[in-house]
Amino acid sequence: TMSYSTPASSSNLVFRQLFEKESSTYTYLLADASHPDKPALLIDPVDKMVDRDISLIQELGLKLIYAMNTHVHADHVTGTGLLKKKVPGVKSVISTASGSKADLHVEPGDKIYIGDFFLEVRATPGHTSGCVTYVTGEGSGQPQPRMAFTGDALLIRGCGRTDFQGGSSQQLYNSVHSQIFTLPKDTLLYPAHDYRGFTVTTVGEEMQYNPRLTKDEDTFKSIMENLKLAYPKMIDIAVPANMVCGLQDVEAKAS
Amino acid sequence: TMSYSTPASSSNLVFRQLFEKESSTYTYLLADASHPDKPALLIDPVDKMVDRDISLIQELGLKLIYAMNTHVHADHVTGTGLLKKKVPGVKSVISTASGSKADLHVEPGDKIYIGDFFLEVRATPGHTSGCVTYVTGEGSGQPQPRMAFTGDALLIRGCGRTDFQGGSSQQLYNSVHSQIFTLPKDTLLYPAHDYRGFTVTTVGEEMQYNPRLTKDEDTFKSIMENLKLAYPKMIDIAVPANMVCGLQDVEAKAS
Ligand SMILES: [Fe+2]
Ligand SMILES: [Fe+2]
C-alpha cells in the first residue's frame, strides 16, 4: 500500500524548503523553536542565496549553528564559507569520507543536535564517495513521519550520476537499498535537487516507482553506465571550492 | 511572537507543492487518503505540467475531482482544460467574480469538499477583480495549522501587481487585511508564485515582515502605483485562454 506525503509534524519544528533555480538546488532549514536559543541548521546552502537564507533566519528569530553539506557538490558552490563569514559562530559540517575541509567532520551513526531535535548520519556513497544522508531522529518528540535529506543519492524518481567524484553505481544501489529503503515507508525524502518541480517524495513511493532503483542491481548498473551525460558545467569551479567550504578560500589561495 | 512554519498535520491529508520554473508557478495537490476513492484537487495547475501532475496523481492512487484556479492568470495558461480532456469527470472551478468559464463557479463562503476535508472560499480581489483565497477548514479532522492558498493576492514578502485585469491597490490592501491577516497567525500561506525560492510563509510572518502590506493603506497604494512594471509577457495569450479554462478552447475558436 502507498505511503502518503503527510508533512512531518512536531509543534516545535521549524522547517523550510528553499530553492535555487539555476542549479535546481534545494536548501533546507530546520530549527527547534522550543529551545530558548532557537538553534537552527541549514543543509546544502548555495553561495548566491546566502543573503536570502540569513535574512529568513533572522526574521524567524533563529540562531544558525550548523551549515551542512550532504556531499561535495559539482553543480554549485556551497554557501558554508559565506555563512561562516557572515554569521559568527556557524560551524561547517561534512562527512569525513568527503575528504573536504570543514569545522566538523561526521561519520555514519553520528547525531547532530539542534535543541531537542537531531539528525542521524547515514553513509550513502555512490554519487560521490563521501555522500551522506541526514535523517531526523526516531522516538518521541522527533518529527513524525521521519524526514531524510538524501542529497544526490536518491532523487525524486531518479538518482545522482555515478561517473565522477569517486562515483560507483554498485555502491549507490547498495546505499539506497540498505540505508534509505530500510526507513519507514512514510519517511519523507527531501533531495538536493529536482528538475521537474517536485518538492518531496516518500520511501514507499520510490520503492514502488523509482524508474532506476526498483530494478535489479545489474539492470541499474547498466542504466547508469549508459546515461551518456555531458561533462558537468560547474564541476571545475565548484568541486575545488567545495573542498574548502566555499569559494572565498579558493580566491584567497589564488591571490 | 513569531508563528513558525510547522507543516500542517493530519494523518489523512495528502499534500504536495509542485513548481513550474518558467513562470515560477506553484501548483498544489490535496487529497483525502482516508476516503475509499482518495478524492483529490489541484489548485492552479499549469498547462505544460499536466502530464507530470496526472502521473503523480495516478501513482499516489488518487482520484482527481476538481481542477481549481485562484484567479485568471496572466502569466501562464491554466491546466484545467487539458486536465478535463485527459481525466474524465474532472470539474474546473473558479470564482463567479472572475467572469470566466468553468464547470463550477464558487462564491465567498462556499466550501469545496474532497472526502472529509474542505476548502473555504474567501474573496480577495485587488490583483484581479475575481481573485479568491482557498483556506482549509476549521475544526477537528481538518489540517492543523490551517493552510491558505492565496494565489497572487499575497506573495511571500510581496503581493501581486494591481495595474491590470481589474486590479485595485485599495481592494488588495483590504482583501489581505480582512481575509488573510485575520486567520490564525500560524496559518501556512501558499502563494501561486515565488521568484526567490521560498516555498511557504505564515500569517504571523507576513504581518510582521511583508514590506508592502505592513505599511498603512496610503503608503501601500503609492508603492503599488510606482512599481513601473513591464507589460506582462504572456497576458495576451494567457488571459483569453484562461477565461475559457485553457488553451484548447481558444484553438478551437481560432480555427
Ligand atoms: Fe552532487
Ligand atoms: Fe496573477
Chain A: closest CA distance from residue B60 (Å): 7
Separation in Å, CA A51 to CA A54, A83, A192: 5, 9, 19
B209 → closest Cβ in A6, A27, A59: A59
Task: Report d(CA B110, CA B151) in Å as an integer.
Answer: 17
With a CB cutoff of 8 Å and minimum separation 6, the contacts of A208 are: A2, A214, B59
Above pLDDT 90, what percent of chain B?
90
Q: Which of A198, A23, A18 lies closest to B17 in space, CA to CA?
A: A198
Nearest to A18 by CA among B208, B45, B149, B195: B195
d(CA B223, CA B226): 5
On the 0-12 / 13-18 / 19+ scale of CB atoms within 10 A, A140 is: exposed
Instruction: Identify the helix (H) or strand (E) that includes residue B68.
Output: strand B63-68
Across the interface, of B8, B33, B196, the residue whose CB is closest to A7 is: B8
Whose cell is 476548502? That residue is B119
Residues with CB under 5 A from ligand 2 (ion): B 73, 152
pLDDT digits (tens, 9 = 90+) for B100-154: 999 999 999 999 999 999 999 999 999 999 999 999 999 889 999 999 999 999 9
- Going from the Cα of A189 to the center of ligand 1, the distance in angstroms, rounded, reads 16
Compute and round to an integer the Cα radius of gyration of chain B: 17
Closest chain B C-alpha to A166 CA, distance in angstroms: 31
Asked if pLDDT for residue B254 goes beyond 50, the answer is no
Q: Mean per-residue pLDDT for A33-49?
A: 97
Q: List Cβ neighbours of A149 (8 Å cut-off, separation of 6 or more).
A: A28, A43, A44, A70, A119, A133, A134, A135, A190, A192
Q: Does B197 touch chain A (CB under 8 A)?
A: yes
pLDDT at B252: 52
pLDDT tens digits, residue range A66-89? 999 999 999 999 999 999 999 999
DSSP-assigned beta bridge partners for residue B78: B46
Asked whether B17 and B8 are in contact (CB, 8 A), the reply is no
* Facing A14 at nearest CB: one of B5, B20, B21: B5
CB contact residues (below 8 A), chain B span 52-81, against chain A: 52, 56, 59-61
Closest CA to B164 of B216, B128, B211: B128
Q: Is the pLDDT of residue B249 over 60?
A: no
pTM surpassing 0.90? Answer: yes
Residue of A nearest to B198 (CA): A18
Instruction: Give the pLDDT score at B246.
Output: 83
* Residue pLDDT, tens place only, A101-155: 999 999 999 999 999 999 999 999 999 999 999 999 998 899 999 999 999 999 9
3-state secondary structure of A246: coil
pLDDT at A6 over 70: no
Q: Which of these ranges, A195-204, A239-248, B143-152, B232-241, has the smallest mean pLDDT?
A: A239-248
Rounded to an integer, what distance in angstroms lies between the CA atom of residue B25 and that of residue A149? 24
Instruction: Quote helix, strand, coil % in chain B, to nearest 5.
Output: 25, 30, 45
Render pLDDT for B18-67 as a digit per residue (tens, 0 to 9). Answer: 999 999 999 999 999 999 999 999 999 999 999 999 999 999 999 999 99
The model's pLDDT over A90-104, given as tens digits with 9 standing for 90+, comes to 999 999 999 999 999
Flag whether pLDDT at B255 surpasses 50. no
Chains A–B, number of C-beta pairs less than 8 Å apart: 99
* Nearest residue of chain B to residue A144 (CA atoms): B9
Distance CA A134, CA A148 (A): 6
User: Is there a contact between A52 and B8 if contact means CB atoms under 8 Å apart?
Assistant: no
Radius of gyration of chain A (CA): 17
B126 CA distance to ligand 2 centroid (A)?
10
Within 8 A of A198 by CB-CB distance, chain B residues are 16, 18-19, 52, 56
Position A123: which residue type? Answer: A
What does the pLDDT look like over A47-70, one tens digit per residue?
A: 999 999 999 999 999 999 999 999
pLDDT at A250: 52
CB A68 within 8 A of CB A93: yes
Q: Under a CB-based contact definition with an 8 Å cutoff, are residues A120 and A113 in contact?
A: no
Cα of A5 to nearest chain B Cα, Å: 5
Beta carbons of A46 and A25 less than 8 angstroms apart: yes
Mean pLDDT of chain A: 93
Interval A213-249: pLDDT, tens: 999 999 999 999 999 999 989 999 999 999 999 855 5
**For residue A1, what pLDDT band results from cuts at 50, 70 and 90?**
very low
DSSP string, A110-162: -EEEETTEEEEEEE--SSSTT-EEEEEPPSTTS-BS-EEEEETTEETTEE---
Cell numbers describing residue A111: 547525531
Instruction: Give A27→chain B minimum CA distance, Å.
Output: 9
Structure ipTM: 0.93
Residue A219 at interface with chain B, using a CB cutoff of 8 Å: no
